[in-house]
């Protein structure tokens, strides 16, 4: 009996490229809430899963970017609604002006984070804002391929491993494809996020109406985790002071592969890499308190774009960007208490599981706490 060639579990990013090319594979969540490919049909031994998997077939990396920008939207209101400087909106406009389609991560009606495609400005608004939870790419690689084959321009955004998965699924780059990756600090468990949100909904006696991980209600450097509920109640705290923020920053519930991430380096997969320009040296650009994006221009394709004049920028040295974003040089380290956290999480209510994380956070000391704040975007 044939068996699919899958990477070892500890190296699987959950990008789903293998399941997208093989009808015998489906993505199923494990006890921690992370999805892994599972054989649910008959394998014919074609080897497509091996060719598509970026953990087996090493993806192509661009050299360390020579062009690094501190960039921000000129529309101050639009920038305040973004997580950083709003540069992603420039790429969205460029794509839509060409009749293209944009793929990104958005909340569904139950606040699960899923990738989807949109071809209107209103639809693409759902992709704005950081979402500290691993998204589900189900079907979007196939949908992107269909759009590309039809001659449409495609912008696909996601984590670096998701971009590598797209290239693996396609078998390489396309002329009418533009990719954009976030500077990723690891992907938290969707199940942990769902349990946290359910806890807040129970506490406030209402379903959530909106969720923002980096609300700029107190400025860019003090992002708040804000949930507005259907009954009008509102929960808003600095994200570093929330239980979920503690656990994320202390790397308690990230995907196992994040600790050995092959994308946490100077060489990048996507055409653009975007994030917050933490560590921005003075003099700061005017209006920096509203947010500034770090933009790594990684490919010749990206260098050659004539983008719409919706933003301002300053060229900055790569070393400045790397100093403020440590995932551009090395992977994170998992917390040694990770296994114990998930043992509690799987057997106790969310409040009990998080009560384990809180005293742990208080004991970790200044060095780890500073690293947590850097990961969450608070200085």
Q: Given CA atoms 255, 183, 116, 75 in this order, what sign does their dihedral have?
A: positive
82 and 226 co-located in one domain: no
SS (H, E, C) 8-60: CHHHCCCCCHHHHHCCCEEEEECCCCCEEEEECCCCCCCCHHHHHCCCCCCCC
For residue 242, is it within any domain? yes
249 and 259 co-located in one domain: no
143 and 181 co-located in one domain: yes
31 and 152 co-located in one domain: no
For residue 59, is it within any domain? no
For residue 241, is it within any domain? yes
281 and 348 co-located in one domain: no
**How far is 349 from 30, CA to CA, in rounded Å?**
18
Tally of helices (H runs) and strands (E runs) in the chain: 14, 13
- The number of beta carbons lying within 10 Å of the beta carbon of residue 345 is 25
88 and 140 co-located in one domain: yes
285 and 350 co-located in one domain: no
223 and 290 co-located in one domain: no
- Total domains in the chain come to 3
Average pLDDT over residues 361-367: 47
Find the domain containing 33 and state its range: 9-50
Q: What is the pLDDT of residues 267-277, one digit of tens each?
A: 999 999 999 99
Run of H or E residues at 118? strand 113-118
137 and 167 co-located in one domain: yes
117 and 248 co-located in one domain: no
For residue 2, is it within any domain? no
Q: What is the pLDDT of residues 289-298, one digit of tens each?
A: 789 999 999 9
Residue 37 pLDDT > 60, yes or no? yes
Indicate left, alpha or beta for 262 from its phi (over 0: left) and psi (-120 to 50: alpha). alpha
For residue 56, is it within any domain? no
Contact 327, 216 (CB under 8 A): no
Residue 121 pLDDT > 60, yes or no? yes
> Which position has the token pair 């003099």?
283
Per the DSSP assignment, residues forming a β-bridge with 157 are 180
For residue 377, is it within any domain? no
- DSSP secondary structure letter of residue 284: P
> Which position has the token pair 């040694």?
336
For residue 96, is it within any domain? yes
Give the CB-side neighbour count of residue 315, counting CA atoms within 13 A. Answer: 4
194 and 218 co-located in one domain: yes
Q: What is the pLDDT of residues 311-354, one digit of tens each?
A: 999 999 999 999 989 999 999 999 888 988 898 888 887 777 76
144 and 107 co-located in one domain: yes
Contact 232, 257 (CB under 8 A): no
* Band (279; pLDDT cuts 50, 70, 90): confident
Backbone angles phi, psi at 96, to 5 degrees: -65, -35
For residue 80, is it within any domain? yes
| Pair of tokens at residue 304 | 């050659």
Average pLDDT over residues 126-136: 95
**How far is 113 from 252, CA to CA, in rounded Å?**
20
* Band (250; pLDDT cuts 50, 70, 90): confident
């Amino acid at each position: 009996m044939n068996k699919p060639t899958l990477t070892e579990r500890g190296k699987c990013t959950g990008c789903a490229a293998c399941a997208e090319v093989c009808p015998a594979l489906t993505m199923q969540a494990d006890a921690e809430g992370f999805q892994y490919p599972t054989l649910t049909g008959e394998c014919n031994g074609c080897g497509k899963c091996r060719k598509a998997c970026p953990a087996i077939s090493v993806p192509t990396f661009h050299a360390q970017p020579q062009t690094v920008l501190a960039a921000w939207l000129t529309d101050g209101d639009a920038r305040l609604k973004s997580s950083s400087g709003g540069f992603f909106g420039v790429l969205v406009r460029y794509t839509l002006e060409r009749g293209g389609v944009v793929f990104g991560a958005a909340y569904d009606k139950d606040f699960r984070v899923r990738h989807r495609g949109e071809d209107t400005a209103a639809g693409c608004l759902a992709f704005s804002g950081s979402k500290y939870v691993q998204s589900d790419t189900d079907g979007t690689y196939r949908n992107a391929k269909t759009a590309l084959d039809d001659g449409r321009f495609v912008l696909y955004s996601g984590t670096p491993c998701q971009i590598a998965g797209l290239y693996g699924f396609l078998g390489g780059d396309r002329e009418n494809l533009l990719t954009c990756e976030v500077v990723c600090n690891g992907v938290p468990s969707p199940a942990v996020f769902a349990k946290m949100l359910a806890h807040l909904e129970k506490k406030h006696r209402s379903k959530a109406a909106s969720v923002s991980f980096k609300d700029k209600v107190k400025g860019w450097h003090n992002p708040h985790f804000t949930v507005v509920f259907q009954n009008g109640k509102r929960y808003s705290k600095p994200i570093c002071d929330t239980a979920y923020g503690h656990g994320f920053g202390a790397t308690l519930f990230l995907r196992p592969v994040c600790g050995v991430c092959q994308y946490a380096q100077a060489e990048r997969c996507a055409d653009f890499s975007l994030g917050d320009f933490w560590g921005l040296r003075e003099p700061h650009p005017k209006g920096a308190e509203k947010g500034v994006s770090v933009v790594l221009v990684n490919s010749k394709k990206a260098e050659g774009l004539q983008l719409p004049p919706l933003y301002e920028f300053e060229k900055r040295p790569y070393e400045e960007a790397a100093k403020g974003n440590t995932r551009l040089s090395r992977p994170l380290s998992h917390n040694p208490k990770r296994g114990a956290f998930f043992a509690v999480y799987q057997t106790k209510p969310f409040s009990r599981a998080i009560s384990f994380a809180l005293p742990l956070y208080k004991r970790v000391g200044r060095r780890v706490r500073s690293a947590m704040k850097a990961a969450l975007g608070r200085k």
